[in-house]
Chain A
Amino acid sequence: AQSVTQPDIHITVSEGASLELRCNYSYGATPYLFWYVQSPGQGLQLLLKYFSGDTLVQGIKGFEAEFKRSQSSFNLRKPSVHWSDAAEYFCAVGAFSGGYQKVTFGTGTKLQVIP
């Protein structure tokens, strides 16, 4: 079964600074990988996804992520953080299990942005 680890529960960065959120996955084959963002009390919005091809994926709101098979990682990056980026970020892996695709989420990383 697949699993996702987000080692950082809480990260604080200054506005304008760069950001990297870590994500490691465990799956026997090439997974489908996602990053979602959740604002308080709301559902999830997809930032970006990786299925195949170019391992550097561009997403919305200036985010990007790089798939590194050798490290089983899919870290999320942004060169310059804005105050509006403060939210919770979830990494997820999709894999086929029991005949259908199941998406498993990491525990999330809460991002705080300070002026």
Chain B
Amino acid sequence: GAVVSQHPSWVICKSGTSVKIECRSLDFQATTMFWYRQFPKQSLMLMATSNEGSKATYEQGVEKDKFLINHASLTLSTLTVTSAHPEDSSFYICSARLAGYTGELFFGEGSRLTVL
């Protein structure tokens, strides 16, 4: 099946710094990518939908200036957590949908962010 790769898998940063997480579709083009946040022992919460070449669509309650999403190409979307604080510590997962294919999402391995 299609492969989605996230980098880094683990990141620890100091409070106030910014962190960038990359999501790449390795063997297919993804016009749409999704960013999820997963709190411990909870489900995935959709943060935003990233469309190649246009602005991301954020879910209600997600701070656009806090979580910057860029989808510069058909194979790469990035999530930047700006001025990170301990409450931003979480597991962030991206997913990508095949261009022209309805429904199925392919997930990255996830990125564990710890803000000290």
Chain A positions within 8 Å of B, measured between CB atoms, are 32, 34, 36, 41-46, 49, 51, 90, 94, 98, 100-108
Contact = CB atoms under 8 A, between A and B. Distances in A.
11 contacts: A32-B102, A32-B103, A43-B107, A43-B110, A44-B95, A46-B104, A49-B104, A90-B43, A100-B32, A108-B42, A108-B43
B102 A90 contact: no
A103 B42 CA distance: 16
Interface size bucket, B side?
A: 20 to 34
Contacts of B108: 43
Contacts of A32: 102-103
A102 B43 contact: no
Given A34-B105, A43-B93, A100-B51, 15 more contacts: A32-B103, A34-B104, A43-B4, A43-B108, A44-B44, A44-B93, A46-B1, A49-B104, A51-B102, A94-B103, A100-B57, A102-B46, A103-B34, A104-B46, A107-B43
B1 to A, nearest CB: 8
A12 to B, nearest CB: 16
Contacts, number: 57
Interface of B: 1, 4, 6, 32, 34, 42-44, 46, 49, 51, 57, 91, 93, 95, 97, 102-110, 112
Contacts of A103: 34, 46, 95, 105
Contacts of B57: 98, 100
A1 to B, nearest CB: 11
Contacts of B91: 41
A32 B34 CA distance: 17
Nearest to A94: B103
B113 to A, nearest CB: 13
